[in-house]
Amino acid sequence: MVYYELGDCTVCLHSLYIENIYTLKNCNHTFHRECIEKWITEGSRTCPRCRVSATLNDIKQLFLEEAGDSSDESSDEFTLSSSNRSTQNSNLMEAIRHLTYFSSQSIIS
């Protein structure tokens, strides 16, 4: 299995990985599920990064998965080409830049 590092969880400051990355639907910032659930249930009720209002219902799993030779993208899931590791890393970084761009746009708006 290939592991990709996707930055750090803002709550616990540990690395995020494909298998355990969750997002808030209102701002698209990413966290470990346990961290963001605890953050919200202990009374914060906002995103730890941008302070947009957040509830437990706003937490959604972000899917980044390896695929065969083709690559499909949808609103709920990024699928990465697995032709070689260099291509995988390039595609993953592009998906992260895409996610970061939309996250920063929602902060500006």
Centroid of chain to Cα 65: 12
Cβ distance 89 to 3 under 8 Å?
A: no
Q: Give the domain range for residue 70.
A: 5-108
Could you tell me which residue, 84 or 4, shows the higher pLDDT? 4
Cβ distance 38 to 61 under 8 Å?
A: no
Domain count within the chain: 1
pTM as predicted: 0.56
Supply the CATH number for residue 39's domain: 3.30.40.10
Could you tell me which residue, 15 or 92, shows the higher pLDDT? 15
Tens-place pLDDT, residues 48-89: 999 999 999 999 988 776 655 554 444 444 443 333 344 445
- Label residue 93 by pLDDT band (50, 70, 90): low
Tens-place pLDDT, residues 12-50: 999 888 888 899 998 989 999 999 999 999 988 899 999
What CA–CA distance (Å, rounded) separates 104 from 29? 9
